């Protein structure tokens, strides 16, 4: 009988700690790393052997910002991430868990924000949702045949809607009663005791509610006074867990609310991670503000991390349906209208167009979108003559203002007008500084959300490519070992979860990849089926890179092929609890 289940031979081994890599054999038995040896092990000692010569052996990647909350209920393989080497995925981001609120509230606070169709998500939750508490959700998750391992935040919008009701939770004139605050605290403490990572909140006003009851109101978390969030954070701090937040880009100075919470002069620091540090085309100065914020906070004994996307932030849009149009009044007015006839009538109105041109022309106000339609390329349209051109070029040819041209095309073609723009991380020099920032974590893939708008499922591979190319050009930003650590061990250690390492005795979550494949275009997107949703979504397909993926010692990807038993009973992954603290004490 073979001593090992699997033997991976003669690959460049990265243990996830940042220590020097070396050529090694790695053996797996009973879901654990049984042996790491610089001396070759006998092939006959294993039931199955993989040749990794010229390849890298790394810990499985950790995706610490996804929105798979609905998808995992019907497609628990989460294969779009696993195929790129992700072995642990985090859900419950941006205040949007699906744990405490009822099925319709959970759907309505999720679908418009994350642009996943309500008509798909609502029936899933209506059928599947049999839980109302964190422990009940965990019992359900434990019964699912998970592909990757799972970690989770408890979402504040979810928590607030469950206790206050959706309409009260989205009324500026209502604050929670003392009994409601105590109910929220009880649910949050239950989650922390069960191993949730902490609390996720949202302050960005443009994230809107779906459905008929509270249509176009902002998420419940945005209606909370800061003292409510601070009170909940007392529990998060006591358990040594994490607050994930999203500041309102329109009020950048409110970032100091988070700074104050994180500081640890007279108490334990509150681990705080915010979305997101980017080199925005439209607000370049914000990058300097974010850098100062994190350095200042951590200098004063805080524990603060920005989330950094290690690639250009490119967004695709159908007509006017794209989230960053919510950040200014004219765009918000159009997106608030469900009826296409009413929307078109608004887009044709001259007074409305004057307002749109006014907002479009504002260049000094804080913003995510650079408001430059000359920096937006048409990629699909019934009029093929427009494909490949930007809106400003077409407007100049027609002798009209670019806003009028854009609105005319939206009225004429609706969502058949497809275009894209890069809003941030467009300058390689600046991006390299961002990913090297010790006060940041490499994150923000948004996997499972914005299914027609963006695709960063291969985020870890993009990070490795960026670092490898810099080394090849003799302009290194960090070592390869540090890059792997930033994607694995660093995040696991900061979050307090058992992941990100493949030393002897560790759980066998690992990836075998061919670095030669990193030379291809990793930013390209294609369409793929969203399993059990009946939808097509933007995905990444990068042949020749990820060869094998192991999750808890089970072979999930082999020869670049996702294995057919991934997502089938019994599952590969499991819920990984955050470090338990006896009695909730530090």
Residue with tokens 């530090």: 586
| pLDDT of 501 above 60 | yes
pLDDT at 284: 79
Q: What tokens appear for 295 in the block?
A: 């350095």
Mean pLDDT of 249-276: 90
CA distance 255 to 237: 19
Among the listed ranges 107-121, 278-292, 413-427, which one has the minimum average pLDDT value?
278-292
The predicted-structure confidence for 375-401, as pLDDT tens digits, reads as follows 999 999 999 999 999 999 999 999 999
Per-residue pLDDT at 338: 84
Enter the DSSP assignment of 414: G
| Range with the poorest average pLDDT among 23-37, 246-260, 492-506 | 246-260
Instruction: Please report the pLDDT score of residue 586 as a whole number.
Output: 34
Instruction: Provide the terminal-to-terminal Cα distance of the chain, rounded to the nearest Å.
Output: 47
Looking at the DSSP bridge assignments, the partners of residue 546 are 513
Q: Residue 558 corresponds to which tokens in the numbers above?
A: 């082999």
| Amino acid 422: pLDDT | 97
Question: Rounded CA gap, 336 and 83, in Å?
Answer: 37
Q: Which of 186-200, 276-290, 471-485 has the lowest mean pLDDT?
A: 276-290
Report the pLDDT value the prediction gives residue 329, as an integer from 0 to 100: 80
pTM of the full predicted structure?
0.96
Region 557-567: mean pLDDT is: 96
The share of the chain scoring above pLDDT 70, in percent, equals: 99
Tokens of 218: 């902002």
Of 189-198, 274-283, 490-499, which range is least confident? 274-283
Phi and psi at 313, nearest 5°, equal: -90, 90
Average pLDDT over residues 528-545: 95
Q: Is the dihedral of CA 575, 580, 584, 586 positive or negative?
A: negative
Tell me the domain boundaries of the chain: 1-91+447-566, 317-420
Tokens 């092939």 locate to 43
Q: Are 91 and 152 in contact (CB under 8 A)?
A: yes
Provide DSSP, 417-477: -EEEEEEE---HHHHHHHHH-TTEEE----BTS-TTT---TTHHHHHHHHHHHHHHTT--S
pLDDT at 99 over 60: yes
Q: Measured between alpha carbons, how far is residue 201 from residues 20, 110, 223, 294 in Å?
A: 38, 13, 11, 18
Say how far apart CA 434 and CA 307 lie, in whole Å: 10
Q: Using pLDDT thresholds of 50, 70 and 90, give the confidence band for residue 505.
A: very high
CATH number of 1-91+447-566: 2.30.40.10
Helix axes 480-487, 459-472, angle to 10 degrees: 170
CB 363 within 8 A of CB 371: yes
C-alpha 509 chain-centroid distance: 20
263 has a pLDDT exceeding 50 = yes
Determine the pLDDT at residue 107.
Answer: 98
Confidence check: pLDDT of 583 > 50: no
Q: Supply the mean pLDDT for the chain.
A: 95
């Amino acid at each position: 009988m073979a001593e090992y289940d699997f033997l991976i031979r003669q690959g460049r081994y990265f243990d996830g700690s940042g220590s020097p890599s070396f050529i090694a054999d790695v053996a797996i038995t009973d879901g654990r790393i049984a042996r790491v040896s610089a001396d070759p092990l006998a092939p006959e000692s294993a039931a199955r052997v993989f040749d990794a010569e010229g390849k890298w052996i790394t810990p499985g990647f950790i995706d610490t910002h996804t929105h798979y909350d609905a998808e995992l209920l019907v497609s628990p393989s989460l294969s779009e991430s696993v195929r790129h080497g992700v072995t642990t995925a985090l859900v419950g981001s941006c205040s949007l868990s699906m744990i405490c609120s009822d099925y319709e509230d959970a759907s309505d606070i999720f679908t418009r924000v994350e642009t996943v169709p309500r008509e798909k998500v609502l029936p899933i939750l209506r059928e599947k949702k049999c839980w109302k508490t964190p422990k009940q959700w965990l019992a359900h998750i434990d019964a699912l045949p998970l592909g990757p391992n799972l970690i989770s935040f408890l979402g504040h919008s979810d928590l607030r809607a469950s206790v206050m009701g959706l309409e009260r939770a989205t009324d500026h004139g209502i604050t929670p009663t003392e009994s409601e605050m105590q109910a929220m605290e009880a649910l949050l403490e239950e989650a922390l005791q069960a191993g949730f990572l902490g609390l996720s909140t949202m302050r960005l006003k443009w994230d809107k509610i779906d459905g008929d009851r509270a249509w176009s109101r902002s998420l419940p978390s945005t209606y909370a006074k800061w003292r409510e969030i601070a009170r909940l954070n007392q529990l998060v701090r006591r358990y040594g867990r994490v607050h994930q937040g999203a500041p309102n880009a329109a009020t950048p100075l409110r970032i100091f609310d988070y700074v104050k919470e994180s500081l640890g002069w007279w108490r334990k620091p509150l681990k705080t991670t915010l979305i997101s540090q980017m080199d925005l085309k439209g607000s370049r100065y914000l990058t300097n503000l974010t850098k100062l914020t994190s350095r200042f906070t951590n200098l004063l004994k805080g524990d603060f991390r920005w989330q950094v996307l290690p690639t250009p932030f490119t967004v695709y849009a159908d007509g006017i349906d794209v989230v960053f149009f919510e950040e200014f009044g004219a765009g918000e007015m159009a997106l608030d209208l469900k009826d296409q006839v009413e929307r078109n009538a608004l887009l044709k109105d001259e007074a409305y167009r004057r307002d749109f041109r006014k907002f479009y022309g504002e260049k000094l106000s804080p913003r995510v979108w650079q408001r430059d339609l000359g920096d937006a390329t048409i990629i699909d349209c019934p009029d093929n003559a427009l494909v490949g051109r930007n809106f400003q070029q077409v407007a100049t040819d027609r002798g009209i203002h670019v806003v009028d041209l854009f609105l005319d095309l939206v009225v004429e073609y609706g969502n058949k007008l497809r275009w894209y723009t890069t809003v941030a991380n467009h300058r390689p020099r600046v991006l390299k500084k961002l990913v090297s920032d010790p006060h940041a974590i490499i994150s923000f893939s948004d996997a499972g959300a914005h299914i027609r708008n963006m695709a960063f499922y291969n985020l870890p591979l993009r990070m490795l490519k960026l670092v490898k190319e810099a080394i090849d050009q003799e302009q290194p930003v960090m070592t390869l070992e540090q890059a792997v650590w930033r994607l694995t061990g660093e995040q696991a250690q900061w979050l307090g979860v058992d992941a990100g390492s493949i030393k002897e005795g560790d759980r066998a979550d690992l990836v075998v990849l061919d670095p030669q494949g990193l030379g291809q275009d990793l930013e390209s997107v294609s369409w793929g089926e969203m399993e059990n949703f009946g939808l097509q979504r933007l995905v990444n397909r990068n042949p020749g890179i990820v060869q094998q993926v192991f999750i808890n010692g089970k072979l999930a990807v082999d020869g670049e092929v996702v294995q057919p038993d991934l997502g089938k009973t019994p599952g590969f992954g499991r819920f990984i609890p955050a470090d338990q603290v006896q009695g909730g004490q530090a």
